[in-house]
Structure 1
């Protein structure tokens, strides 16, 4: 597809007329794996250390940046290309557009809920424990919601955004009136 539409490497394939937010502190927290959402942080830390992460982690971290934080997908795409050992311009840019809802996705306003996804894909918290060691002592699924822990882990950040507002910025930015639910 990129061969037919080379501009899609840097311009929206299908514009949603997004007015992306700019927040350097949130971008840096995402890049460093310090968002306060353990499964997101695990993915970003794995990327920084190994240059790779599973496709599910790529989807979750991209959705979190572009839809929950509502930061420009190109910032994430650039970061991934700079760090992925298997980075490929066409795959990377078009996957980012698909996740951001500016590409060929038929559900452009879908938001992947990192909490529900962590419960589904990392039910025992093994992935998070490996990459976010400061949370390793939290039992079971409590690891995915450290802000609820009786003894909050020292040094781990609070969530950048309210866990119940994961789709709010996207809805506001795109003028979506209907109440959507992050899945």
Structure 2
């Protein structure tokens, strides 16, 4: 029997008043009902990495190294990722880009899905930019994604009362794709380690 896929859901916004945790909670509920995955959540607010990185070959300060190592271990252990992101100024948050840039091999040869939210665009421009970034890091973005337009209408103090069956169906399709690619790539990495 194939072991469940280790799916890491990343909350990509660290702003005050963000909807990210509510959107992530809803998606984790969908993923938790999927037989093929075991879900863990990483909130970047809990992993503050500085914007200034050390020179190549030099270690960061001990506090930064501890944050980097803890987050890096979670990323390395994952078989697949789902990035939950808003759209800020037609792209994704700076904190998310910074966290992505601190790591390299942890993303390679693993599938990435996206759950975006925002105003009229629903975060779609952020996702298009993220696809390019992950391609550069040898991550494989799945075609299907979820997008919540005018997200504050769907996600409120009571959770996600405005999220309907269409979103649940879209989440299942994306999870199916992540599991297919995740299992295939996990088997391939086990047979022959991926070299960048």
TM-score w.r.t. structure 1 length? 0.26
Higher relative contact order (CA 8 A, sep 6+): 1
Higher strand share: 2
Give the structure-2-normalised TM-score.
0.25
Higher helix share: 1
